[in-house]
Amino acid sequence: MTELFKDRYEAGRLLAAKLEHLADKDEVTVLALPRGGVPVAFEIARHLRAPMDVFTVRKLGVPGYEELAMGAIAPGEIMVINEDVVRHLGISRSVLDFVAAGERKELYRRDRLYRGERPPPQMADRTILLVDDGLATGSTMLAAISAVRQQRPARIVVAVPVAPPATHQEIKHKADEVISLLQPEPFDGVGRWYLDFSQTTDDEVRRLLEISNQREFDSNKAFA
């Protein structure tokens, strides 16, 4: 497959077709990395007939070059550092800690915003399917995997529409299974592989979670 994804919903439907072995499994939980991973995960969860929730992870952007990840944080005081970026740019630990403190506030704000009073999903002894709209450096997904591992799941499966080959291989060493539809080289960023890569809004995240939680799935309708 070399064509572009129309949007995140289409990417989710195409990815779901590669995950048939997880359909109708009572032990499967789909966890989306917000915000961009939520529309992808929504289509996967609907296709697999599995429960869906969010798992909030925050990228640590290099000051002044925020799109460049020097690491990521996840619940449970998890911090994953991109050693290559940190070493190359000479980033100090104090800078890392300063950026992480700000992102940690946003992490917990978003978690409350999306989940409300709902408790965190149960992960022990379950198959956790971590979903995002794509991987670049992989720092965010690595943080998510580290945090989920602390909850003692039976398996962790990572599913993304697109990832560079090197990142795909790195994630394979940390997860039990990794599925990506595209592994292009050169990569040129996640957004390069979507016709519509407009920002997923908080309202859209809450709406899709509400639909998913109410089990209002209609296989003939796309909530795009």
> Is the bond leading into 186 cis (omega within 30 degrees of zero)?
yes
Is pLDDT of 190 > 60? yes
Are the beta carbons of 193 and 161 closer than 8 angstroms?
A: yes
Are the beta carbons of 16 and 41 closer than 8 angstroms?
A: no
Q: Is residue 109 part of a domain?
A: no
Is pLDDT of 116 > 90? no
Is pLDDT of 73 > 60? yes
**pTM for this one?**
0.86
Q: What mean pLDDT do residues 202-222 have?
A: 74
Is pLDDT of 1 > 60? no
Is pLDDT of 111 > 80? yes
Q: What is the pLDDT of residue 169?
A: 96
Is pLDDT of 171 > 90? yes
pLDDT per position as a tens digit, 36-64: 999 999 999 999 999 999 999 888 999 99
Q: Is residue 32 part of a domain?
A: yes
Q: Is residue 104 part of a domain?
A: no
Domain count of the chain? 1
DSSP at 36: T
Q: Is residue 73 part of a domain?
A: no
pLDDT per position as a tens digit, 24-35: 999 999 999 999
Q: What is the pLDDT of residue 217?
A: 45
Mean pLDDT value across the chain: 91
Q: What is the pLDDT of residue 224?
A: 42
Q: Is residue 136 part of a domain?
A: yes
Q: Is residue 70 part of a domain?
A: no
Are the beta carbons of 114 and 209 closer than 8 angstroms?
A: yes
Is pLDDT of 221 > 50? no
Is pLDDT of 222 > 80? no
Phi-psi region of 162 (alpha: psi -120 to 50; beta: other; left: phi over 0): beta
Q: What mean pLDDT do residues 99-119 have?
A: 89
DSSP at 135: -
Q: Is residue 112 part of a domain?
A: no
Strand partners, 81: 71
Is pLDDT of 110 > 60? yes
Domain at 17, CATH number: 3.40.50.2020
Q: What is the pLDDT of residue 3?
A: 79
pLDDT per position as a tens digit, 141-162: 998 998 899 899 999 999 999 9
Burial of 58 (0-12, 13-18, 19+ CB in 10 A): buried
CA distances from 187 to 22, 24, 32, 125, 197 (A): 29, 34, 22, 35, 15
Q: Is residue 183 part of a domain?
A: yes
Q: Which domain holds residue 152?
A: 8-57+121-213
Is pLDDT of 2 > 80? no
